[in-house]
Amino acid sequence: MEKMRQLFGKARRAGVFGMLLTIFVAFSFRSAVADWNDVPTGSMKPTILIGDRIFVNKLAYDLKIPFTQTRVATWSAPVRGDIVTCWSPADGARLVKRVVGVPGDVLAMRNSQLTVNGVAVAYTEADLETITAAMGDDATGKIFYMEQLPDHPHVVTITPGKRAIRDFEALTVPADQFFMMGDNRDNSADSRYFGYVGRDAIVGRVQGTVWSLDFEDNYKPRWSRFFADMI
C-alpha cells in the first residue's frame, strides 16, 4: 500500500494525472461536440475533395454521451440536402454522404435524375471553370450538373461509361431512416447499394473545410478551401 501511495505521489508531481485528464477532455470533445476528419475517398467530388479536412458539428442534431451512440438530448434531425458523417450499415466504416431522402420521402431515380415526392429535381448547368480549377485533370471526361435540392443546390458528377446504379423504382424512406448518396454519383457506395442509414448511425453535420492539401501535387495547400463553408 505504501508503494502504491509513493507511485501515485510521483505521478501527481510529474503531472501525469493532469495530462491524462487533458487527453480525456480533448477526446471527449471530439467524440461528442465537434471533430475534424480527413477525407480519403472521392465519393463527394467536387463538393469535397480528397485531402480536405472537414469540420463536423456533432451537436447539430443532438447530444450524445462521449464514446457512445447514446443520445441524452435531441433538438433537430438531418434535413434533405445536409452533408453528414455516418457509419456504413455494410461494414461500419465512417462515411461522408449527402442526405437526399428523409423519413416519409418517396424517392425514385431515372437516368441519374432524382424524383422526390413525385417532383423531378431540376438540373442546371454547372460552372465548369470553377470545377476544373478545383479538380484539375480529374474533371476530364466527366459531366457536371447543379442538382437543385431546395436550399441545398450542389454540383453532382456523372462519369459516362461507368457502371453504376442510375435508376431505381419508387421507394418510401422508413421512419428513423435516411437515404444517402454521394455527389460523385457514379463513384459512390451509398444507399443505392447498402440501403438506408439509421438515425443512430448519423454522427454529425459537415459545416465546411478546415484546410485542404493536394495529395497529388506534393501536398500543396488549396488555400481557397481553407475555412470554407459547405452546402
Look up cell 442509414; give the residue. Answer: 197
| Annotated catalytic residue within 43, 188, 191, 212 | 43
At 146, which amino acid appears?
M
* Per-residue cell: 185: 454519383
Q: Which residues contact 104 (CB under 8 A, 6 or more apart)?
A: 172, 173, 175
Comparing CA positions, the residue from 72, 43, 78 lying closest to residue 57 is 78
The partner residues of 99 in beta bridges, in order of sequence, read: 180
The edge-to-edge listing of strands for the beta sheet with 113-116 is: 119-120, 113-116, 106-110, 168-172
Asked about 188 being catalytic, the answer comes back as no
CB atoms within 10 A of CB 39: 19
Asked about 97 being catalytic, the answer comes back as yes
Contact 104, 133 (CB under 8 A): no
| Annotated catalytic residue within 45, 97, 142, 191 | 97
Active-site residue list: 43, 97
